[in-house]
Structure 1
Amino acid sequence: MKKQIVGAALVDSLERPEKLLAARRTAPPEFAGMWEFPGGKVETGETPQQALHRELAEELGVTASLGSELQCPTSNGWPLNANTAMRVWLAQVTDGTPEPLEDHDLLQWVELDGAEILGLEWIPADLPIVQALVAFAAHQ
């Protein structure tokens, strides 16, 4: 079984998303300075959704409402490497103001229209997810 990672596509609105909150990593060295979706590992005994709520509280200091899961190419999620896959949910902050508390040094709201979001240097495994999110937003 692949290791399960969860990520949040934090958007300004679940109904009509126009902006995404991107998070810039501080570590490990090969990904420092690159952008990603906030999230992390699903711990033993947690559902993916519970893990995502916990990760958002730890990393950004927020509570969020989860929307739909972003359609992924495999039943395990988006492949990150040979042993790890990530499932990504749309999410909207319901309490708190996002701050880079853990694993990130900068947060930035970016337009989902394609140009701005695709101009960021995303972690390579996250780029296909970003492209799918841009396509999803274009059809909302």
Structure 2
Amino acid sequence: MTTETSVIVVGAAVVRADTVLCARRSAPPRLAGKWEFPGGKVEPGETDSEAVVRECREELGVEVAVGARVGADARIDDRLVLRVYLARLLPDQPDPRPLEDHDLLSWVPRGNLLDLDWLTPDIPVVEELAATAW
């Protein structure tokens, strides 16, 4: 699904017990109020896993261990492709905080994930997470 001009955007499905950390967008205006997995673009020379760790540090103020990939590549637009990975907080981390691009974080029980108004590219992964124990 990716091409040479595709830019990979990673998302972190941070899990704790039977909940997933969900982030509500505050910007840009056309996305504000929609829910997503925290994350961002993979930088040149960076692996997907390294990008997940960096993005969680920048967006949430926490350190994570990256796990398995969830779902398939999802096209965001003609240039961006989303890949989501399971992640867990490392021991002794503070509570995640919305530091960039989000106004609210919520630990959502697996059974309630589909109740949120998700960004379209995230929905297949949300459906998979809601149906599968991790």
Could you tell me the TM-score, scaled by structure 2's length? 0.90
Aligned twin of 2:46? 46
Contact 1:80 1:126 (8 Å CA) reproduced: no
Aligned twin of 1:5? 9
Moved over 3 A (4+): none
Counterparts of 1:8 and 1:117, CA distance in 2: 15
Aligned twin of 1:24? 24
Counterparts of 1:84 and 1:133, CA distance in 2: 22
Counterparts of 1:67 and 1:58, CA distance in 2: 19
CA offsets per residue over residues 103-124 of structure 1, 9 Å max, x none?
A: 10100011102xx211111112
Alignment of 1:56-67 (within 5 A): 56-67=56-67
Counterparts of 2:21 and 2:84, CA distance in 1: 13
Aligned twin of 1:91? 87
Q: Give the aligned CA root-mean-square deviation in angstroms.
A: 1.2
Q: Which runs of 5+ in 2 are unaligned?
A: none
Could you tell me the TM-score, scaled by structure 1's length? 0.86
Contact 1:63 1:96 (8 Å CA) reproduced: no
Instruction: Give SS of 1:31's match.
Output: coil
Alignment of 1:59-78 (within 5 A): 59-72=59-72, 77-78=73-74
Q: Which runs of 5+ in 1 are unaligned?
A: none
How much does 1:36 deviate? Answer: 0.3
Alignment of 1:95-114 (within 5 A): 95-113=93-111
